[in-house]
């Protein structure tokens, strides 16, 4: 069985990041045209566009701050003008920050995580779901984290924001399901990326000993689940958060 996304248009936020690049390539490999969202790395975005175009599909890069309403709306207009209205939205971008205890964490970090995990998804829904309704369906996919469930020490800002994101997705799934729009999340564990392969840091015994499958997952394994949710194979799946973390989280 082959997954075919030919004729579909996807937008991936944070697409120049470690996981975003693999998800973008994977969607394109199955025939989807892809809009590459980036915040700062214009060079990497251009390289990724070229790589995707070499697969025989269309691609564009779009600079946007996913925490800013005006910026997201400009991105939506550019994608609509140059590719068309997306059938698939993958919300992957998140603001990075230094983790510490709740008592020591700067208040600005709680706000930044709320903006990039909750408001990011609200703004993308408002910008892109109306067109999905008009088209008669679509896929709205968010990248959450195993910490949405684990809530580990020193992850307060991140875990609380990702839990807020989960609430948005479960509510949205109930609100737009009648329009044939599937709303789902993927929750990765600590994932092996291209940077790990370059730096030879794939092996992490202290982390892996707590994973039932006894290893870290790979970026491609995460992208494969995103691809499943973007495809017709998931046509009757909505409102779920799928842990892709080797069994560390079981729901």
- Cβ(41)–Cβ(64) below 8 Å: no
Please identify which of the residues 97, 158, 169, 236 carries the catalytic annotation.
158
Q: Catalytic annotation on 158?
A: yes
Which residues does the annotation mark as catalytic? 158
């Amino acid at each position: 069985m082959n997954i075919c996304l030919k004729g579909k248009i996807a937008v991936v936020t944070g697409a120049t990041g470690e996981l975003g690049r693999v998800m973008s390539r994977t969607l394109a490999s199955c025939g989807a045209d892809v809009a590459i969202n980036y915040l700062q790395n214009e060079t990497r975005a251009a390289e990724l566009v070229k790589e995707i175009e070499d697969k025989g599909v269309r691609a564009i890069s779009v600079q946007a701050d996913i925490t800013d309403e005006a910026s997201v709306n400009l991105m939506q207009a550019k994608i609509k003008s140059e590719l068309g209205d997306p059938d698939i939205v993958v919300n992957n971008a998140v603001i990075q920050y230094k983790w510490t205890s709740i008592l020591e964490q700067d208040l600005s970090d709680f706000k930044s995580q709320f903006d990039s995990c909750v408001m990011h998804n609200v703004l993308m829904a408002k910008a892109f779901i109306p067109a999905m309704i008009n088209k008669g369906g679509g896929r709205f996919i968010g990248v959450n984290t195993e910490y949405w469930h684990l809530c580990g020490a020193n992850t307060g800002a991140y875990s609380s924001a990702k839990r807020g994101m989960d609430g948005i997705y479960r509510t949205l799934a109930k609100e737009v399901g009648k329009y044939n729009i599937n709303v789902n999340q993927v929750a990765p564990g600590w994932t092996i990326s291209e940077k790990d392969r370059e730096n030879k840091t794939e092996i992490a015994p202290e982390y892996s000993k707590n994973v039932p499958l006894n290893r870290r997952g790979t970026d491609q394994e995460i992208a494969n689940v995103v691809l499943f949710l973007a495809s017709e194979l998931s046509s009757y799946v909505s409102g779920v958060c799928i842990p892709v973390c080797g069994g560390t989280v079981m729901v």
